[in-house]
Amino acid sequence: MLKKFFDWLFGRKPPPEKTQDITQTAPLTEEQIQAIVNNQNPHFDLQQLIASCGQSVGKQRELNEDSLLALTATMAGNSGNLPFGLYIVADGMGGHQFGEVASNAAIRAVAGHILKKFHPYLFQVKTDTMDESFQEIMLEAVRDAQRIIQREAPGSGTTLTAALVIGQQVTVAHVGDSRAYFVFPDGRIDPITRDHSLVKRLEELGHITPEEAVNYPHRNVLYRALGQGELLDPDIFTIAFPQPGYLMICSDGLWGVVAEQDIVRSVVDAPSLQRACQNLVSAANAAGGPDNISVVLAQLIG
Amino acid sequence: MAGVTLANRYSIQDVIGVGGMGSVYRARDMHFPNVTKLVAVKEMINSAPDPLVRQTIVQNFEREANLLATLNHASIPRINDYFSLDSRSYLVLDFIHGKDMEAIISDTNGFLPEEQVLGWAVELCDVLEYLHRHKPDPIIFRDMKPSNVMINSNGDVVLVDFGIAKTFQTGIKGTMIGTEGYSPPEQYRGEATPSADIYALGATIHHALTRRDPRLEPPFSFAERPLRRINTSVSPELEAVVNRALEYNPESRFPTAADMKQAILGVAKKTGALGRMKTQTTPIAPAGGIKPLWAFKCEDEVRGTPTIHQGALYIGSYDNNLYALNAADGKFQWKYPADGGIVSRPSLYDGNIYFGSEDKRLHVVSARSGKVVWTYYTEGPIRSSPRIAEGHAFIGSDDGYLHAVNLNTGRASWRFEAADAVRSTPFVMNDLVYVGCETGDYYAVDYRGELKWRFHAKRAITSSTVGSANTIYFTSVDGTLYALDPKNGWPLWRFRLGKASISTPCIIDDFVFVGAADGFIYAVDVRNSKEVWRYRTEHQVNGSPVIYKDSLYCGSVDGNLYCLEYRTGRLRWKFETQGAITGSPLVYDDIVYVGSTDHQVYALLA
């Protein structure tokens, strides 16, 4: 039961044949147990969302084709003050022309659409319920961005990983190979998005091994990108914000360069989120900085 | 745009397509005033702010025009004209009377006949062969897919949209372009070869015969859903041809489109495809049928759901009685008469059974003896079921109130006024009581009876709520399955059902299952709100599905109890009763119990 709950909580799909295999259950860490307890006794206390971000062009590129947005606010409503956060990383595709045009347009379109929808709730007294769901708003935002990119920079493409945080719910829209992670103070790090890259797909199909994937010549080829193809099918899902834990969104300039365990250490050991972001960017640059680096970190306290 | 005449010659009649960069219009060529000569005018609006981008766009458009001008084939539209006006460029092409293949696939009920698809495939091989043999360089279409294949009024294929077709120069890598889902692995690496078109043709045939849009599936996953697994009427020979076209390695595919054509003609010959009657497929149902372990007959309809406790099965009937039966053999133990029908599902607490009745009362009866302990009056019939928590029975009534009845005193601690009748069963989680009502208003009320938050659906919420720590689910007569944040009522996602629903969802793993009046049982992924599968019954599904081990059990108004594999929606067996099943089954200790409006309660081996 606990295992199932955890798989659900952290988004790992259990292998179907093992769901009833009790002997597979691994001991939980103190922190995991605490998270379960927290979830079973949800409180209506004030919660606070904080975030920070970092960016660098890297050591080898002249142009920054990444775009980033981090916006944190509070929605004052009839059911108390609700944390509101919007965090987006878009990585314009270098192999295509006008990658920076595409990643910029993506951020503007997605954030613009979402903020328009939430404007009455953020800045006016609005009590009636929203007739669109978070996932529908995200999908429309991505479709909007797709139209705008195809008009403003046809043929170009960009990744997009966007997280909309409302209360304890994180709704993610994802296309391409930027990533969102949950990072836990006890050292665990879980990617919550799946790369839409050729190399990842070949790995999933078993055509190449994870070791081969690291040195695969076409590592940055995407099979799904914003601006490409007419029927875009972004991954959109809703998941609970990790508590205790961090939400991290980054471009491959970070995750492709710095080992996951080093990422965790940079985040967990840092005295503040700002410092953590700086540490992550420095680590990617220290490792050669082959690509643009973008990272957003968010934490829900209370 | 209609009524506008372009270049003093093409009178626009209608929009026939909309793309990322402009529209395609049907227009009349006014240079032929005495006959109606229709043309397709493809418009490209160059709205890119960046001058470099603008230039690239114009070049691409001109390339398409120039390419088409050099081609001459029955399956390729002829280009009549090309011109630019301000920031817009136009291609004037033959107008094709017909429909594109994607529209044909989606407008067809069931699967397209194999011989029809075979005929199109042969013609597509012909035109690909023509393009690939183009001199001086082969032309790679690069975007073969159903929506780019028109079927004209003669039933012949015409390839449209040469926007990204490209003459092929060996050894030069292009950028990733083409349509996700139809493109082979090497095309993502920038290699466009004739073999890529062959793969995409295989993908197109696959889509046509399975109705599964590959753009909605992971790339290169055709091997995971072979033709005949989805469409059993496809011949093994054709499956083999399609599999070869879809081989992962280009070397393993047909070397040329002509070779593929020969293979398809071979299939047609072997299966005698032309003129062959299409065989209807039927799902495999177990032979002989399922025998119930026992059945018990009440004196009127059983519309509700049973409860089991210590070897006894409790169920209400519209003969006004609540029955206690021996769960093992169905033997009658006792009955308790109310003054109205009982649809409410009994709840057990501390040796007593709680249930509501059309007689407006909440009845509390001893589980052992069937003797009344106390009753509680509301001012309307009760269709809701009681929920016991925190020393209270929470129950809705048609009097428009949610009642919190103290179990010790049998009196209301409070009543919460809803906008209309409360027929849904209250759900209790996180110190809140969740309940919907017949106006579509939905409430989260705390233990003091105070409103915490509200939500509004477009129509009645008769379904009850189920929830996990972070999400609550319910359906509405507005045809939607809702997922809300239990803390504040914000909608996380909505899933459109085919019709109204009063069925209460059921959750397990990452799935939420629910029935609807369109006759389907749906399985939806709780994280991304995507449909995992749906299963069609012959009539409305009003009861709630239940999961036991790896099966899903659900009744339908068509009279059947269905047992499906819950991960795939595949039918395991069904059991026919003589009346509609409107309640939910109950599974306990490998036995399924279900009531039917044929007055019977059945026990079946799960």
* Per-residue pLDDT reduced to its tens digit, A108-125: 999 999 999 999 888 887
**Cα distance from A218 to chain B (closest Cα, Å)?**
7
DSSP conformational letter for A154: T
Does the pTM surpass 0.80? The reply is no
Query: Which residue, among A35, A46, A8, A49, has the nearest Cα to A244 in the 3D structure?
Result: A35
DSSP secondary structure string, B583-603? S--EEETTEEEEE-TTSEEEE
Number of domains in chain A: 1
Q: Which residues of chain B make contact with A130, given a CB cutoff of 8 A?
A: 490-491
Give the residue-averaged pLDDT of B448-469.
Answer: 92
Q: Calculate helix-pair angle for B257-271, B194-210, nearest 10 degrees.
A: 30
Give B470's contacts in chain A (Cβ within 8 Å): 39, 168-169, 240
- Counted residue by residue, chain A has a size of 302
Mutate which: B45, B176, B430, B448, vs A, most A CBs within 10 A = B176
Predicted local distance difference test score (pLDDT) of residue B583: 92
**Residue from the list B188, B453, B494 with its beta carbon closest to the beta carbon of A78:** B453
Contacts of A9 in chain B (CB under 8 A): 469
- Average pLDDT of span A60-85: 87
CATH number reported for the structural domain that contains residue A85 in this entry: 3.60.40.10
Under the banding of pLDDT at 50, 70 and 90, the label for residue B276 is very low
A261 has pLDDT over 70: yes
Q: How confident is the model at residue A250 (pLDDT cuts 50, 70, 90)?
A: very high
CA distances from B393 to A256, B348, B362, B407, B587 (A): 56, 11, 9, 7, 24
Q: Which neighbouring-strand residues pair with B312?
A: B309, B326
Read out DSSP for B178-208? S-TTTS-HHHHTT---HHHHHHHHHHHHHHH
Question: Which stretches within B282-420 are classed as H helix?
Answer: none
Residue of chain A whose Cα is closest to the Cα of B215: A231
> What pLDDT, on the 0 to 100 scale, is given for residue A14?
47
Q: What number of other Cβ atoms are within 10 A of residue B196's Cβ?
A: 24
* Percent with pLDDT over 70 in chain A: 84
Walk me through the domains of chain B, giving residue ranges and CATH numbers: 5-94 (3.30.200.20), 99-281 (1.10.510.10)
> Across the interface, which of B21, B180, B456 has its CB nearest the CB of A129?
B456
CA B363 to chain centre: 41
Q: Residue B60 above 80 pLDDT?
A: no
Which segments of B448-586 does DSSP mark as H helices, in order?
Answer: none
pLDDT of residue A7: 54
List the B466-468 sheet strands across, edge first: B466-468, B471-476, B480-484, B491-496
Q: What pLDDT is attached to residue B319?
A: 93
**According to the model, what pLDDT value does residue B469 have?**
77
B179 has a chain A CB within 8 A of its CB: yes
Complex prediction ipTM: 0.78
* Nearby residues of B154 by Cβ (< 8 Å), 6 or more positions away: none
* Contact flag A151-B189 (C-beta cutoff 8 Å): no
Long-range (24+ apart) CB contacts under 8 A made by A119-128 are A121/A75, A121/A77, A122/A73, A122/A75, A122/A84, A127/A77, A127/A78, A128/B456
Residues B45, B89: Cα–Cα separation, whole Å: 7
- Assigned domain for A160 exists: yes
Is A260 a member of any domain? yes
Q: A27 is written with which tokens?
A: 């001991």
**A153 in any annotated domain:** yes
Structural domain contains residue A11: no
CB contact under 8 A, B491 and A155: no
CB atoms within 10 A of CB A148: 21
Look up the domain containing A138 and give its range. Answer: 50-301
CA B487 to chain centre: 29
Interface test with B, best of A17, A104, A230 (most B CBs within 10 A): A230
* pLDDT one-digit tens code per residue, B175-192: 354 557 888 888 877 777
Question: In whole angstroms, how far apart are CA B325 and each of A54, B314, B336, B578, B580?
Answer: 68, 6, 12, 21, 22
Mean pLDDT of chain B: 88
Q: Quick check: A97 and B56 CB within 8 A?
A: yes
Does any domain span residue A190?
A: yes
- Asked if B385 and B355 count as a contact pair (C-beta separation under 8 A), the reply is yes
From the list B93, B72, B80, the residue with the least C-alpha distance to B135 is B72
Q: To 10 degrees, the CA torsion angle through B66, B72, B74, B75?
A: -40
Comparing A279-293, B215-229, B333-347, the range with the smallest average pLDDT is B215-229
Token look-up 């940055």 returns A220
Give yes or no for a contact between B379 and B360, defined as CB atoms under 8 angstroms apart. yes
The angle, 0 to 180 degrees and rounded to 10, between the axes of the packed helices B236-245 and B194-210 is 140
Q: Flag whether A95 is in a domain.
A: yes
> Could you read off the pLDDT of B297-349 as tens digits, one per residue?
999 999 999 999 888 999 999 999 999 999 989 999 999 999 999 999 999 99
Residue B350, both tokens? 């501390």
Structure confidence at residue A37 (pLDDT): 66
Render pLDDT for B464-481 as a digit per residue (tens, 0 to 9): 999 987 899 999 999 999
Q: What is the pLDDT of residue B89?
A: 86
* Close Cβ partners of B344 (under 8 Å, ≥ 6 residues apart): B304, B316, B355, B356, B357, B382, B383, B384, B385, B386, B395
Burial (Cβ within 10 Å: 0-12, 13-18, ≥19) of residue A238: buried
What does the pLDDT read at residue A15? Answer: 46
Read off the tokens for A277. 């972001």
Q: Is residue A31 part of a domain?
A: no
Q: What is the mean pLDDT of residues B528-555?
A: 92
Structure tokens at B591: 């036995």
Judged by CB atoms closer than 8 Å, whether chains meet at B177 and A155 is answered as yes
Assess if residue A32 is contained within a domain.
Answer: no
| Residue of A188 and B224 predicted with greater confidence | A188
Q: What's the average model confidence in pLDDT over B514-541? A: 93
At residue B418, what are phi and psi to the nearest 5 degrees? Answer: -95, 175
* Packing angle of the helix pair B114-132, B257-271 (nearest 10 deg): 160
Distance separating alpha carbons of residues A188 and B323, to the nearest angstrom: 54
Using CA atoms, how far apart are residues B490 and B472, in angstroms rounded to an integer?
11
| Residue B569, pLDDT score | 87
- For chain A, give the percent of residues with pLDDT over 90: 55
Question: pLDDT tens-digit profile of B121-170?
Answer: 999 999 999 999 988 888 888 889 998 999 988 888 999 877 655 554 43
Please determine, for residue B282, whether its predicted confidence score (pLDDT) is greater than 50.
no
